[in-house]
Structure 1
């Protein structure tokens, strides 16, 4: 190192520089030279090597290399150059001050670790962007896994920095941390559970960003917007946001409506409550009237004898579902009578709409049951409905009118 300092010191002495300041000035000149060398190295890397790598990546058919050699990753890589140059060249300046040289080299190593962490962060963000554009990985909840890798990298970096500051082997620090593993587990409990849950959600394809899920326990009913290491964000249909820990989605049950969207049909499962008193066998005149109105096919004979109006009504619903263009023809269609209850006989309609969109689905369902309720009287059937206050008032008025018509009522009222 003296070969480098000697010419500079001789030159300073030749221009009349005082001897007591020659050593300090030499060190400052060398420090300035190191700063210039590190700046030029980073500049050459950014202006020469990076454009060349980016041109090569753009010339390939693959797109992942365009992300890996993006400006963000290359800037993070360029930050590695100054600490490496300083660590190597500082010995030329402070060769005669080993204590100060050791401190400065520790600073360079810490700076290098920080820049490496920044590079890892940029690299993982780039991998996440590549995954979001990949056909298979696009809907996988991988963000939590990337966050866990970042957390592990920061933990390793912190251990290395502490080991540099105290001058101990990193394995010694790790051994000391092993004794306090319970405390570490307690601190990072949510992160560890989130990582395990994220792996399970991704491996079993249980959840994807954009899925519509329902979880009544947490009041969640909407679309998944983000899956991170510690939270799953769900935007409900009322535009509120519900956050759920990932491990809750694994330990508890939730409903994912993705299968409904992928099937291409949305289920209608609704019942009409028929008044049991209105169920009766049809007379020949009623059957003929239904034929004329097109409610029974002219060439179709009822399967049951005698003919029951409720049976004819169920056949009519089945034919209506087959003719309805909004009902999916390839998915199950069924009309059945359920167990009679105190509120009447439930006739359940089970089918699927062609559209899975909520508004369209509700419109198709409403139109279907509007027509079914409207056509009930044509079959001599009535829908069951609990008596209301108006019904009781009408009944009271009818009873009063009947009472007034009874003979002797006026005489009793007069007396």
Structure 2
């Protein structure tokens, strides 16, 4: 190639010398003509190779089943590679064109060499981006922090590229630069502290499967509550349910506590755990007339009959004086209401009957007796889950008066204290 370049650019200077233009004028005229020829040839090479490489890549992409070559086309790998070929031609031509301009030969040679290094790194980046997109399209890797690994590789490559550029600019050997680089590694570690922490964190997050792209997470410290849309070297991006975006440092995923809802989404139901407060003074024993009236509620009719027979048998066998309700065994309005709610939940179509289903009484509080519903909805989607839970508690609120119970409410005015 060197001989071809000499033939292309080496004819003008002897020609002008032959025509007696003088040493200096011949050099400048030769330089001007050679620059024009260089620009023309380099641009022609670029157009030819760009067209050829792009067309070849498109043809290959259409004829193969893999998506990787399609991604190379979309990331413009062939287009950037086409820039590299004329640059190599220019790099070989500069020493011949600037043979009589030693100072400028050194400068332009270094500039072209630097551009070749930068362009080579950019081509590698497009290939890695295509590889990243290819892995993300694979379900097995779609939830992995591929961006973090690509960024680490690029940081290493940019570091070596920077070393090569410095060695070219200051005419220092690469080995000497690497030695100097090792000596200042402590400073570099300090500068890239967040990057190193992010890389370590992203590896741990991936290996321990703590969070994936697409997971719903809640991170109170950063006000995040939504789906993870990106995991990279420095940050984890979360699209909140109000369509805002929260950026979380990657190393915070291992240094702080957050909630990942993936387990719930992968399970067979989403938990409903909510309570209401019942006034303690509204809980009482039920007499026979009240029980007869409550038998009209179909969900507890059979339970009342069976339970009443069992209680009457016990009280008679133990000669219980029933002139006072407190004596012996009795049913309460609160206990019967819990049984009613349990029966109602067991027949409610939106709940998973294969998982826990409870209506339980919790530790009394100064505000009343908590009655908690603990069950799981079949539908885990946010809007449907909220509808199911609201529908259940709408029914509970409307049912309470039938059992002569009262819900505790914080007094809001003087009327709340009037009998």
**What band does the TM-score fall into relative to the shorter chain?**
0.7 to 0.9
Aligned in 2, Cα 1:387/1:114: closer, same or farther, shift over 3 Å?
A: closer
2:221 corresponds to = 217
Shift of residue 268 of structure 1? 0.9
Shift of residue 55 of structure 1? 0.7
Tell me if 1:192 matches 2:216: no
Tell me if 1:346 matches 2:346: no
Shift of residue 8 of structure 1? 4.7
Worse-matched range after superposition: 189-198 or 97-106: 97-106
Residue from 247, 250, 253 that aligns with 1:249: 253
Worse-matched range after superposition: 267-276 or 302-311: 302-311
Aligned in 2, Cα 1:71/1:269: closer, same or farther, shift over 3 Å?
A: closer
Q: TM-score, normalised by structure 1?
A: 0.84
Structure 2: stretches of 5+ with no match in the other structure: 312-328
Computed over aligned residues only, the root mean square deviation of the Cα atoms, in angstroms, reads 2.8
Residues 57 and 69 in structure 2, CA contact (< 8 A), matched pair in contact too? no
CA distance in 2 between counterparts of 1:70 and 1:393 reads: 73
Residue from 294, 302, 306 that aligns with 1:301: 306
1:18 corresponds to = 21
CA distance in 1 between counterparts of 2:414 and 2:10 reads: 112
Residues 53 and 79 in structure 2, CA contact (< 8 A), matched pair in contact too? no
Q: TM-score, normalised by structure 2?
A: 0.83
Structure 1: stretches of 5+ with no match in the other structure: 396-415
Alignment map for 1:7-406 (pairs within 5 Å): 8=12, 16=19, 18-20=21-23, 21-70=25-74, 72-95=76-99, 100-298=104-302, 301-302=306-307, 305-391=329-415, 393-395=417-419
- Local SS of the residue matching 2:349: coil
Residues 142 and 202 in structure 1, CA contact (< 8 A), matched pair in contact too? no
Shift of residue 11 of structure 1? 5.3
Residues 328 and 354 in structure 1, CA contact (< 8 A), matched pair in contact too? yes
- Local SS of the residue matching 1:296: helix
CA distance in 2 between counterparts of 1:52 and 1:58 reads: 10
Q: Paired residues, what number? A: 394
- Local SS of the residue matching 2:133: helix
CA distance in 2 between counterparts of 1:107 and 1:350 reads: 71
Residues 141 and 207 in structure 1, CA contact (< 8 A), matched pair in contact too? no
Shift of residue 173 of structure 1? 2.1
Shift of residue 191 of structure 1? 1.2
Residues 142 and 198 in structure 1, CA contact (< 8 A), matched pair in contact too? no
Residues 296 and 316 in structure 1, CA contact (< 8 A), matched pair in contact too? yes
Shift of residue 386 of structure 1? 4.5
Residues 72 and 126 in structure 2, CA contact (< 8 A), matched pair in contact too? no
Q: Give CA-to-partner distance per residue, 1:77-123, whole Å, 9 cap, x none.
A: 11211221122233443456666544433222111111112212322
Shift of residue 352 of structure 1? 1.6
Q: Give CA-to-partner distance per residue, 1:184-216, whole Å, 9 cap, x none.
A: 122111111111112222232322334322122
